[in-house]
Amino acid sequence: MVNKSGIGNYLNETMQSWTIPVLLLAFLFSQILRASLGSATVALVTTSSILGPLAVDLGVSPLLLGLAICAGGVGLSLPNDSGFWVVSQIGNLTIP
């Protein structure tokens, strides 16, 4: 849906003019999507699909990029959200 609506291209063009570090961009973008869409899972997948392919070209570790995306997507999450459980179980995180 992001690509079909054209917002993917718009975001790519807009983000290229920003002068913030890529990891911070990934965190913020994921958190903005999480807050606006209400779904951590959609925020994680969408942000990963947009920024993931650019990681090598930008000289960023894909692992650090993934961690920044996950932190942003779960940042506004509660334990009753499915995205919280996906990230916490994969990352061996505890609820506290």
Question: pLDDT per residue over 39-95, tens digit each?
Answer: 788 888 988 988 888 888 888 899 999 999 988 887 776 666 676 777 778 888 777
C-alpha 45/C-alpha 70 separation (Å) is 10
* Cβ atoms of residues 83 and 77 within 8 Å: yes
* CA–CA dist 86, 12 (Å, integer): 27
H-assigned helices in the chain: 2-5, 7-16, 22-37, 40-51, 55-58, 62-74, 82-90
pTM of the model: 0.67
